Amino acid sequence: MARLNTPAARILLGLVVPVLLLIWWQAQSAQGGARALAFVPLQEVGATLAAQIVSGFLLNDVLSTLSRALTGLLLGGLAGTALGVAMAMWRPLDRVVGPLYHAVRQVPLLGWLPLIGLWVGNGDATKLLVVSLAAFYPTVLNSYEGVAAVERRYVEVGSLFGFSPAQRFSHVLLPAALPLILTGFTQALAFAWIATIGTEILLGAPAGLGATMGVAQAQQRMDVILVAILAAALLGFSINHLFARLRRHLLRWQPVLA
């Protein structure tokens, strides 16, 4: 089993199912007729991909989607963490804001879209707001839990060394809550990514992977849709991977779980 754990082996194993799917896909497309429309031959997809790379169309889409998702993640994530931490540290705020927050987050984001569209319009601001909200919910929840669960014994140590409230916050509460805060950001990342592409499809945009998918669907361009899906999948996968590494670095003080 040890051999299956080398990086090369893991990449190869991870490729087995995708390659089988591609072979199946190609076989379907070879059936001709209506099938060839739904299952575009892979060489066509490849040609479209190459053309989009050369023209810079794909890069433009990727950058638009990426900046939308990351801006939303940052805005929503930071606001969410701030609110969660504040609620955990200050009971009255929890009492006043908590019930509203827990009620509002039960409504799926798509449910808010008509209302937000009415208020803010269908432009970039709406998309950014929805993406930020997607990142906001999980970061509130996790940072609240993180700070609320900080062990009293560590707070007592700070008290013995005469920590001020600000020192207690930065030297005890925040680092102790960091694992859960980062868990919140991991979830926020996934939600923000979904929300970005979702709002791009629904509301359209000058550029963006989701916007391209929406247009291509209307034009029945399966090859274009596939290129966009491929890009979204690879990009999402890479961001998650990078974030997991950042998380491991920030939490290097934790014992490695066997």
Partner 1 sequence: MTLHTRIDTPHVPIDTPANGALTIANLSKDFRIGREALPVLDRIDLDIRAGEFVSIVGPSGCGKSTLVRLIAGLDTDYAGEIRLDGKRIAGTSLDRGLIFQDHRLFPWLTLEENVGLALLNTDIPKPQRARIVAEHIALVNLTGFEQAYPHQLSGGMAQRAAIARALVTEPKLLLLDEPLGALDALTRVHVQRELQRIWLTQRSTMVMVTHDVEEAVFLGDRVIVMDAKPGRIRRIVDIDLPHPRDRSSPILHRLRDEILAELTGPQVDSQAPENLVHLPVREVRA
Q: Give the range of 50-58, 141-149, 193-201, 249-257 binding partner 1 by CB under 8 A.
A: 249-257
Cβ 147 to partner 1 shortest distance, Å: 14
159 binds partner 1 (CB under 8 A): yes
In the shown chain, the binding pattern of residues 160 to 199 toward partner 1, with x for contact by CB under 8 A and - for none, equals xxxxx--x---xx--xx-x---------------------
Q: Looking only at residues 16 through 75 of this chain, which bind partner 1 when binding is defined by CB under 8 A?
A: none
* C-beta of 67 vs 164, nearer to partner 1: 164
* C-beta of 42 vs 178, nearer to partner 1: 178
Cβ 172 to partner 1 shortest distance, Å: 7
3-state secondary structure the chain: CHHHHCHHHHHHHHHHHHHHHHHHHHHHHCCCCHHHHHCCCHHHHHHHHHHHHHHCHHHHHHHHHHHHHHHHHHHHHHHHHHHHHHHHHCHHHHHHHHHHHHHHCCCCHHHHHHHHHHHHCCCHHHHHHHHHHHHHHHHHHHHHHHHHCCCHHHHHHHHHCCCCHHHHHHHHHHHHHHHHHHHHHHHHHHHHHHHHHHHHHHHCCCCCHHHHHHHHHHCCCHHHHHHHHHHHHHHHHHHHHHHHHHHHHHCCCCCCCC
Cβ 175 to partner 1 shortest distance, Å: 4
* C-beta of 164 vs 238, nearer to partner 1: 164
Among 10, 95, 156, 219, binds partner 1 (CB under 8 A): 156
* C-beta of 51 vs 155, nearer to partner 1: 155
* C-beta of 114 vs 162, nearer to partner 1: 162
